[in-house]
Amino acid sequence: MTFGNPWMLLGALGALIPLLVHLFDRRRPRPHPFGPMAFVLRSQKRTASRLKLKRLLLYALRTLILLAIPVALARPELRRDAAASAVAKGPAATAVVLDASLSMRWADGTSLFERGRDEARDALKDLQADEPSTVLVCTSAPAAPPPPGFDRARLRAIIDEARPTYGTADLSRCMELAARALEENPTPGKRLVLVSDMTAAAFRLESPPPTVKDPTGKRVRPEVVLRDAAEGREALPNHSLVELKVEPALQAGPRAFQFTFTVKNQSPEAVKDVEAAVRVGEAALAKGFVDVPANGTAQKSLTVRFPQGGTVEGAVTLAPDALPEDDQRSFVLPVPRALKALVINGAPHATRYRDEAFFVEAALTAPGSPVEVSMRDMDAGLRENYAAYDLVLLLNVPAPSAEDAERLAAFVTAGGGLFVSMGDRVDPDSYNSRLGALLPRALRLVRTSVEREDPEAETKSAKLAKVEVEHPLFSPFTGRAEEGLVGARFYRYMLLEADNPAATGASQVLATYEDGAPAVAVARRGKGRVGLFTSTVDRDWSDFAIRTSFLPLMQRFAAYLTGSLEEREEQRVRVGETVTLRPEGGQVIAAVRAPDGTELAVKAQQDGSVVAGPLLEPGLYAVLGAEGKPLQALDFAVMLDPVESDLTRLPSDTLTAYFGEETVKASSGDAERPKVPLWTWLIVAACAAFFFEGTLLRK
C-alpha cells in the first residue's frame, strides 16, 4: 500500500483522543440526595450491560472516525502496491508496449484499446521520478521506440495519439524492439510493461523471450509487468467472417451469383440466428440466418441476381458483435453486361431444327441470357459492321474473303470475340490461308469416327475425354454437370495442327476427345479472344447440340470471348499488404482511394504494373486514373487477417512461464485491483460511523 499524502497519517494519532478522554476526564459528578433511590438503582442494574456495550461501540466508532479521516486524506492506494514492489530494488528503465492490433478493438461498452491506453497511462504514472521510460505502440509494422527518457509528457502524447489498427501485432517482436531500446539506457534495472489483451495469436511462444544486456554484457531477462486490458476475462466471445467465395449461379440467371461464406465462432457458447446479408450500398440484396456451434464454423450460401451488368461493389455482413470489424467483408464483382452477338449462319435450312444456327440461337436467346442475337446468312453477315457487335460467330461458314478476314482480324484485335465452329462447308486450307493468324490453331483435316447412321454409332462415336474445369469457360461443369459434357457423341470433328507457328500468342486447348484431338481451343488475339469448336453446333457431326451442357457452354463462350467472364484472378489482399494493379491498354493509374477517403500514392513497376500500399484498412479501395477518373474495373477489396479474429487468450500461467516466473513481478489487471481507491471507502466508513455514533447518542 502506498500513500499519496503520507504526512497526513500523523492525524491518525487523533484516534487516541477517545482513549485519553476516557482515562483522564474524571469530572466529579454533582451529589444529589434523592428519594426514590431504589428506582435509580434498579434502572442502573437493568441498563448496565446495554450501557457497557453502547459505551464500547461509541468508543470504537469515535476511534474509527478519528482514524479513518486522516488515513483517507493520506490517499492510500492498494493498486500501487504491485508497482511499488516491482520498483523496490531500485530505479529501472521502463518500456511500455501497447498492443494496437485489431483484437484490441473488441468492446463491451469500452474498447480494450481504451482500457489499454488507461493502463499504459497508469504504468507511466506508477513510475518513480528517477526512472527513464519509453513507449512502443505495437502494430503489424512496429518502429523502434525512442530511447528511454524523462519526457513523460511526450510519452503520454504518444499514448493519447495511438489508435488501434486493423492488422495483427507481433508482440514478441515488439517486446524485442522495446528490450533493444532499454539496452541503450545506462540504468541497471530494466523493465518491460506489456499492455495487451493477451490473445494467443499475438505471441510467438516458440521464439525466445526478450532479453537485455546486464552491466557485464551478459544477456538477462528484464523484469516484465503484464497489464491485462481484458481485465482477466476468461474469454472474449467473437464471431467472424473468415472466408467468402463468390461464384456465378447460372441456374438462377446469367447475372446471378452465389455468395458462400464461412462464419467462425470463437466463443465457448453456440450462437444462433446470426443475421447474414449481401449488401450493395445501403440495400440488402439477400438475407439469411446462420447457427454456429461453440468454437466451430458454419457455411452459408446466399444467391443474388443482379439486375444489370458491370462492376458491383458491396459487402457481405454478419450481425455485429463486440468486434464488428471482422463481421463484414467487401467484394468487387464483375457482373456480365448485355452482349450483342452476330451469328453468321453458313448452312441455313428451311427446316428450323436442321438449320446450322438453330441450336446456337436457342441457347444464346434463352430466358435470362444477356446476349442479344442478330442472325445473318453468310453473304449478309460478312458485310456487317463488326464494330456494332461484341461477338461474331462463324457457324460452318466457308472461309471468308481476304478482305473480310482482315476486317474480322481487326475486330478481334480491337477487343471483339470470335467463335468458329466446323461443318461440311469449312475448307481447312482456305481457313488456314485467310484466318490462320486469327485461329487458335490451324485446321488439318476432318476425322470421322463413325457415320451417324451406323448402328454402332452409339459406341463408336468420339466423346470428350479431358475438360479443363479450372478454366472459367468450363468451371461450372464439375460433378454431375460434367456428365452433360462427356455424354455427348461426336461422329466427325476437325483435327488441328499441333502448333500454330503463325500465331503471335499461344493457344490453349480446353477440351479434347478420347484420341487426344482438341475439341475446344481458345487464344487471345490483341485485345480480343477467339474460340474454336472442332465439331458442328447442329446435329450434323455430333449430338452435342441436344445435350444439357450445350446451352450453358454456349452462353459461357459468349461471355468468355467478350471478356465478360472475368479471367483475372480475384485480388485477395489482406490488411497490411501491398496490392499490384495491372492497367489494361492505355489506362494510367494515378492513385488509390482508401475506404476512409484518403488517397494513396502508387509506385510504377518495370513490368507496367503499379503497386499501392501497404493498405491499412479493410474495405473497398477505388482505383483512380488520370485526372481522378475512376477505373472501376480495377477496384479491389481488402480483407482482414482471420488470425486477429481468434481472440483465444493465453492463460497467465503460460505467459508467466514464457517470460520467466522470477521476472514477471506484477501480473496486474483491473480485476485484481480495487476499482475504487481505498480512501473513498474510508470516507464512507467514517460517514457511516458518524451516523451510527449520532444514532447511539440519541438513544
Q: Which stretch binds another protein (CB under 8 A): 34-42, 332-340, 472-480, 667-675?
A: 34-42
Q: Which stretch binds another protein (CB under 8 A): 38-46, 222-230, 422-430, 659-667?
A: 38-46
Q: Is 30 in the site for another protein (CB under 8 A)?
A: yes
Q: Is 47 in the site for another protein (CB under 8 A)?
A: yes
Q: Is 109 in the site for another protein (CB under 8 A)?
A: no
Structural contact between residues 343 and 380, judged by C-beta atoms closer than 8 angstroms: no
- Burial environment of residue 305 by CB neighbours within 10 A (0 to 12, 13 to 18, 19 or more): middle
Q: Which residues pair with 581 in a beta bridge?
A: 610
Residue 61 or 391: the one with the smaller Cβ distance to another protein is: 61
Name the minimum Å distance from CB 16 to another protein: 23
Name the minimum Å distance from CB 27 to another protein: 7
- Of 16, 17, 19, 40, the residue at the interface with another protein (CB under 8 A) is 40
Q: Is 675 in the site for another protein (CB under 8 A)?
A: no
> Which residue is associated with the grid cell 489482399?
573
Residue 61 or 519: the one with the smaller Cβ distance to another protein is: 61
Angstrom distances, CA of residue 83 to CA of 71, 210, 621, 656, 664: 21, 21, 46, 17, 12
Residue 47 or 401: the one with the smaller Cβ distance to another protein is: 47
Q: Is 307 in the site for another protein (CB under 8 A)?
A: no
Residue 54 or 471: the one with the smaller Cβ distance to another protein is: 54
- Of 20, 23, 24, 27, the residue at the interface with another protein (CB under 8 A) is 27
End-to-end CA separation in angstroms for the chain: 39
The one-letter amino acid at 533: F
Name the minimum Å distance from CB 42 to another protein: 5
Name the minimum Å distance from CB 52 to another protein: 11
Name the minimum Å distance from CB 25 to another protein: 11
Q: Is 51 in the site for another protein (CB under 8 A)?
A: yes
Residue 25 or 456: the one with the smaller Cβ distance to another protein is: 25
Q: Is 31 in the site for another protein (CB under 8 A)?
A: yes
Structural contact between residues 133 and 124, judged by C-beta atoms closer than 8 angstroms: yes
Name the minimum Å distance from CB 28 to another protein: 8
Phi, psi (rounded to 5 degrees) for 387 = -60, -20
Contacts of 622 (CB under 8 A, 6+ apart): 592, 593, 630, 632, 635
Residue 43 or 207: the one with the smaller Cβ distance to another protein is: 43
How many residues touch another protein (CB under 8 A)? Answer: 21
> Which residue is associated with the grid cell 446495554?
50
576: left (phi over 0), alpha (psi -120 to 50) or beta: left
Name the minimum Å distance from CB 697 to another protein: 9
Say if strands 391-395 and 417-421 run parallel, antiparallel, or are unpaired: parallel
Q: Is 20 in the site for another protein (CB under 8 A)?
A: no
- Of 22, 46, 154, 204, the residue at the interface with another protein (CB under 8 A) is 46
Q: Is 480 in the site for another protein (CB under 8 A)?
A: no
Q: Is 212 helix (H, G, I), strand (E, B) or coil?
A: strand
- Of 36, 217, 516, 597, the residue at the interface with another protein (CB under 8 A) is 36
**Helix (H) or strand (E) segment spanning residue 2:** strand 2-3
Cα–Cα nearest to 418, from 528, 501, 526, 552: 528
Structural contact between residues 209 and 178, judged by C-beta atoms closer than 8 angstroms: no
Q: Which residues pair with 196 in a beta bridge?
A: 228
Q: Is 39 in the site for another protein (CB under 8 A)?
A: yes
Q: Is 38 in the site for another protein (CB under 8 A)?
A: yes
Look at the alpha carbons of 407, 410, 416, 419 in this order and tell me if their dihedral is positive or negative: positive
- What is the DSSP track for 454-502? -TTHHHHSB-EEEE-TTSTTTTT--GGGGHHHHT--BSEEEEE-S--TT
Q: Which stretch binds another protein (CB under 8 A): 30-38, 325-333, 651-659, 662-670?
A: 30-38
> Which residue is associated with the grid cell 493457344?
507
Look at the alpha carbons of 163, 169, 172, 176 in this order and tell me if their dihedral is positive or negative: negative
Q: Which stretch binds another protein (CB under 8 A): 27-35, 370-378, 487-495, 570-578?
A: 27-35
Name the minimum Å distance from CB 688 to another protein: 23
The whole-angstrom separation of Cα 530 and Cα 508 is 10
Angstrom distances, CA of residue 191 to CA of 128, 439, 528: 13, 73, 65
Residue 29 or 501: the one with the smaller Cβ distance to another protein is: 29
Residue 47 or 680: the one with the smaller Cβ distance to another protein is: 47
All cell numbers assigned to 188 = 541497471
Residue 61 or 537: the one with the smaller Cβ distance to another protein is: 61
The whole-angstrom separation of Cα 210 and Cα 188 is 16
Q: Is 41 in the site for another protein (CB under 8 A)?
A: yes
Strand (E) positions, 346-483?
371-377, 391-395, 417-421, 443-448, 464-467
Q: Which stretch binds another protein (CB under 8 A): 32-40, 119-127, 351-359, 614-622?
A: 32-40
Provide the H-helix boundaries in 221-285: none
Site for another protein in 680-699 (CB under 8 A): none
**Helix (H) or strand (E) segment spanning residue 339:** strand 339-345
Any idea what DSSP says for residue 111?
B
- Of 20, 29, 88, 607, the residue at the interface with another protein (CB under 8 A) is 29
- What is the DSSP track for 111-134? BHHHHHHHHHHHHHHTS-TT--EE
Return the axis-axis angle of helices 37-73 and 678-698, rounded to nearest 10°: 160
Residue 54 or 213: the one with the smaller Cβ distance to another protein is: 54
Any idea what DSSP says for residue 675?
S
Name the minimum Å distance from CB 695 to another protein: 15
Q: Which stretch binds another protein (CB under 8 A): 44-52, 324-332, 407-415, 552-560?
A: 44-52
Structural contact between residues 447 and 460, judged by C-beta atoms closer than 8 angstroms: no
Residue 28 or 675: the one with the smaller Cβ distance to another protein is: 28
Residue 41 or 546: the one with the smaller Cβ distance to another protein is: 41
The whole-angstrom separation of Cα 489 and Cα 406 is 35
- Of 20, 33, 445, 501, the residue at the interface with another protein (CB under 8 A) is 33
- Residue window 339-378: x/- pattern of binding to another protein, with contact defined by CB under 8 A: ----------------------------------------
Name the minimum Å distance from CB 86 to another protein: 54
Residue 33 or 215: the one with the smaller Cβ distance to another protein is: 33
Q: Is 52 in the site for another protein (CB under 8 A)?
A: no
Residue 60 or 643: the one with the smaller Cβ distance to another protein is: 60
Q: Which stretch binds another protein (CB under 8 A): 25-33, 158-166, 268-276, 670-678?
A: 25-33
Phi, psi (rounded to 5 degrees) for 411 = -60, -45
Binding site for another protein (CB under 8 A): 27, 29-44, 46-47, 51, 54
